[in-house]
Every structure is written in structure tokens, then in C-alpha cells.
Amino acid sequence: MALQILLNLSLAVIWMLLSSQFTFSSFLIGYVLGILLLYVFRKILKFDIYFSKIIAFVRLVLVFIKEMIIANLNVAKIVLSPKMKAKPGIIAYPTELKSGFEVTLLASLITLTPGTLVMSFSDNQKTLYVHTLDIDSKEEVIAGIKSSFEKGILEVTD
């Protein structure tokens, strides 16, 4: 991926030199043209374009923001209700992530979401123990994390 970014930056600078315009807009046009060239020649160069990883990362950030807003509203509803109807619980969340970085990122995203907290990992880092403020169904919580955070992390890191 670093080679692709370097190639793309080089193509942008070459575009600036060819157009004799040393402005940010000229650089941006060259950068976009570089992305297009890398996309066209991706099979010849035998690599996936790094831009798809950037899009996946932006998608993960947007999913996190959406989940954080929903969790904030749910926690506010629980805390502000006259009768505290929270059903706290601890679940064992099995993860399919492989690297320590991926598992740590997942744990951070879960912990940063209001109402959930990763308390511990299993020894092999394949199970996270998650405390939730309000749990109706263990399977629902697991499916929610898998379909949002874990899926997004896999898109970025694979």
C-alpha cells in the first residue's frame, strides 16, 4: 500500500510538472488521475487499489458514529426513565479477528460505545468479555457487534 501511495504522489507531481501549474488544485487533479491510472493498471501491477481501504475506513468511522449516537440515546433513555429498567449483563463475544491490532481496535470501539465495556480477553484473544448496560438477548448483541464493528474492521484490514 505504501508503494501505491508513493506512485500516486509521484503521478500527481508529474501532472503538476506537465501542466506547469504548481497549485493545490493541479495536485489534486493529478492525484485523482493517479488513482484512476492505478485502478486501470491494477491487474498488470498485481495489487488492489489502496483507495478501497480508505473508503472502508471512512465507512467504519461512519458506522462507529452511528452506533455511538444510537447508544447515547439508549443510555439516556435508560438513565432518565423514572424506573430504572436496565438489565446489565456480561457476554462472551467470540471474534473471528486474527491479529492483536484488530482485536484491540474492536475492543476500543466497543468500549467507546456508551453502555458497553470490554472487561477482558481470553488467553488466545478469540473471546472478549463484554459488559452491557442493558441486554435483552445475548445473540442480538453478538450479531450487532459482528455486523457493524467486526465487519468494518475486516473490510479495512483484509
* pLDDT tens digit at each of 158 positions of the chain: 677 788 888 989 999 999 998 899 999 999 999 888 888 887 787 777 777 788 889 999 999 999 999 999 999 998 888 887 788 999 999 999 988 899 999 999 999 999 999 999 988 889 999 999 988 889 999 999 999 999 999 998 87
DSSP element (H, E) containing 35: helix 24-40
Q: How far is CA 104 from CA 11, 49, 64, 76, 144, in A?
A: 36, 26, 15, 27, 18
Q: What pLDDT does residue 50 have?
A: 72
- The DSSP secondary-structure symbol of 113 reads S
Edge-to-edge order in the sheet of strand 89-94: 89-94, 127-132, 116-121
Please tell me what DSSP assigns to residue 157.
Answer: H
What is the structure's pLDDT at 1? 61
pTM: 0.74
pLDDT value at residue 79: 87
Cell of 31: 492525484
Give the CA dihedral 69, 71, 74, 76, nearest 10 degrees: -70
Q: What domains sit in the chain, N to C, each tagged with a CATH number?
A: 2-45 (no CATH), 51-157 (3.30.70)
